[in-house]
Structure 1
Amino acid sequence: MTSDIGVVFDFDDTLAPDSTTFLLEEYDIDATTFWHEQFPARVQDGYDPTVAYLTLLLEQIGAEKPMGAVTPADLERCATALEKNLYPGVPDIFDALDAIVAEYDGVGIEYFVVSEGIESLISGSIISDHCSEIYASRLATDDSDVFSGIKRPISFTDKTRYLYEINKGISASAARENPYAVNEAIDDEDRQIPFEQMIYIGDGITDIPCFSLIQDRGGRVFGVDKPDTTSAKQQAILDLGSPQRAGNLNSPDYTADGQLGSLLRLAVESLCTDSTINRLEAL
């Protein structure tokens, strides 16, 4: 029987700088005005923060609007351009962790992204080649394939739902067919990736509920922080009153020489060792 390890990443300000800011700048939209004036005004008007930024973005899209008729194909092209901004050691970290796990019998590893960002910007990048599932905010399109509405917003609290789907082994396609499947009771021994075998990596601002869930159930969390840089989006969220909190904060350097990269390698090695010991003791 294979014992699965699940490594779950946020995307924005975790694997790469904020992707929505990148998109805005690609279309010559003033990101500072977007995040520091328009976004907080909409939140103060009662919008959920994720819905606030998505509706603001959609208001820029369409014929004779600042961004023009933006389609999923356009976002995929932007995703390819975004790859040049991936943090050091990404995507090599996936192969490095795979190599560690390959040294152990009966242990497997899967990678996931759970993000408030826009799905097409993430799934269109090289990151998707390594992930079992990508959970991110999804936009709807009109008959001309132009983005026109919100299909699925993922807020900072919604993220925990997808951790439970990962835990229970519910695929994204199965969840689309039955969004309530995640609420079904399941025995601990039937959970595909136990929480204690999950590692969650995210920024210390929008991932607090996920940090708490994973830590409370015996998993491991790593916070990402760039002490010399705070993205416009992060600063806007901090200005709205969000705390910045995590068990530890590390520079987003996933190389073998980077602290975060070293810690992830050690954490996966430790889970592999624990799993092997548990399996041998059960013989």
Structure 2
Amino acid sequence: MTSTPEFVQNTIAMVYDFDGTLCPQPMQEYTVLPKLGIQPEEFWRWVEEDAKQTGGEKMLVYMRLLLEEANNRRVYISRDDFRKMGKDIEYFPGVQEWFSKINQYVKRQSQGSVTIQHYIISAGMKEILEGISIRKFFKQIYASEYHFNFQGLATFPKQLITDTTKTQYLFRVNKGKEALEESINEHMPEWLRPIPFENIIYIGDGMTDVPSMALTKKNGGHTIAVYPSEDAQDQATCIKLLKAKRVDFIAPANYQKDSPLFHRVQLLLNKILSSMAYQQEVFTSQLHYGIVDHD
């Protein structure tokens, strides 16, 4: 007996970069660098110099240097130590209340018929992100990770996320294959993908987000770039992204209700909800008349 087809694309995904997007500084500057007694400016200079000398990937270089400096200082950091550091991260205004407000807005506007899920895709450290105060709001966090030995200490980077590899995780969200052991290479018809790109909003802060923004926009999704202040220099990169049509909107990184960012996200959510209602009505109508159009 053939089961009745169901409309499965009734979920919205909001995907966030982390450093510079939800918090002003790189997460290491609130957490592991103070623990090691290293000044951020000095550390990031080491990373730049090492990457130039060795031709190494900067993300791998920073993860390696953190371990080397911890060893040199005889500071041994466990997974639980990293997680506990996450509570020290400071956020842009309104971030801690943002997710509940957005969830309530979608529930109210859709009369409870649409689900919204939040994701982080970051080149930062997953061990730290697992301890952040806003962790409970995220369906998944994708970030770089360390391997921990039998003593529970970090020994080498086992998972690396860079500007370009971030796009893999957008496809995971799109196809509903969120576990890393699941392959995303098999073809999946668009109508079977639980979160089409049209239902995705990506929020980032700069050039490191360009591959993700380009992929999202190319596939019909929506993007926003945020900047830390009204200073012209802070805005410059985001204005470039807006001119290049990499983003729908730019806005100050103020997540409080009634801010320009909140208003512009509401506009995008309304657009997605309207399109979703249309697609669902088309699906229902075709089903009623015995039409199956899933090529």
Asked whether the two chains share a fold, i.e. TM above 0.5, the reply is: yes
- 1:185 is aligned to 2:194: no
Aligned runs of 1:58-73 on 2, under 5 Å?
58-62=67-71, 65-66=72-73, 68-73=75-80
Letter in 1 for 2:84: R
C-alpha contact (below 8 Å) 2:36/2:70 kept by paired residues: no
Following superposition, the deviation at residue 244 of structure 1 comes to 6.6
Deviation, 1:213, is 0.3
Which of 78, 87, 96 matches 1:91? 96
Equivalence for 2:289: none
SS in 1 for 2:95: coil
Counterpart in 2 of 1:22? Answer: 30
- Consecutive unaligned residues of structure 1, counting only runs of 5 or more, are 232-237
The structure showing larger relative contact order (alpha-carbon pairs under 8 Å, at least 6 residues apart) is 1
In 2, the alpha carbon distance for the partners of 1:67 and 1:212 equals: 43
Whole-angstrom CA distance in 2 between matches of 1:168 and 1:92:
29
Q: CA 1:137–1:67 in structure 2 vs 1: closer, same or farther (change >3 Å)?
A: farther
Q: 1:229 to 1:162 in 2, by over 3 A?
A: farther
Following superposition, the deviation at residue 274 of structure 1 comes to 2.2
Give CA-to-partner distance per residue, 1:96-148, whole Å, 9 cap, x none.
Answer: 11112212153111110000000011111122201111000001112211111
1:28-53 per-position Cα deviation (integer Å, ceiling 9, x unaligned)? 211111112x1111221211121111
Task: Report how far residue 273 of structure 1 moved.
Answer: 2.3
1:229-282 Cα offsets, whole Å, 9 max, x none, are 999xxxxxx9xxxx9735343221111122112211222232112212332344
1:55/1:229 CA distance change after superposition, 3 Å: farther
Matched AA of 1:99:
Q
The residue type equivalent to 1:69 in the other structure is Y
Stretch moving more, 97-106 or 137-146: 97-106
Whichever residue aligns with residue 29 of structure 1, its letter is I
Deviations along 1:59-112, whole A, 9 cap, x unmatched?
Answer: 1223xx336001111111110121xx1111112111111112212153111110
Amino acid in structure 1 at the alignment position of 2:30: F
Aligned counterparts of 1:100 and 1:190: Cα–Cα separation in 2: 26
Query: Would you say 1:35 and 2:37 are equivalent positions?
Result: no
Q: In structure 2, which of residues 64, 83, 88 is the aligned counterpart of residue 76 of structure 1?
A: 83
Identity across matched positions, percent: 26
Code of the residue aligned with 1:215 in structure 2: it is: K
Q: Which of 1 and 2 has greater Rg?
A: 2
Contact 1:110 1:131 in 2 (8 A): yes
How far off its partner does 1:149 sit?
Answer: 0.6
Q: Which residue of 1 aligns with 2:59?
A: 50
Pairs aligned (count): 263
Q: How does 1:146-185 map to 2 (within 5 A)?
A: 146-172=153-179, 175-176=180-181, 178=182, 181-185=183-187
Distance 2:96 2:201 in 1: 17
The CA distance in 1 between the partners of 2:228 and 2:75, in whole Å, is 33
Corresponding position of 2:198: 196
1:208 match: 210
**Residue equivalent to 1:235:** none
Q: Which residue of 1 aligns with 2:118?
A: 111
SS state of the match for residue 70, structure 2?
Answer: coil
SS of the residue 2:30 aligns to: helix
Task: Say whether the 8 Å CA contact 2:21–2:226 is kept in structure 1.
Answer: yes
Question: Whole-Å Cα distance in 1 between the matches of residues 144 and 27 of structure 2?
Answer: 12
CA RMSD of aligned residues (A): 2.2
Q: Distance in 1 between matches of 2:106 and 2:136?
A: 18
CA distance in 2, matches of 1:46, 1:54: 15
For 1:230 and 1:22, the matched residues in 2 are separated by 24
**In structure 2, how many angstroms separate the alpha carbons of the residues matched to 1:67 and 1:161?**
36
1:254–1:262: 8 Å Cα contact kept in structure 2? no
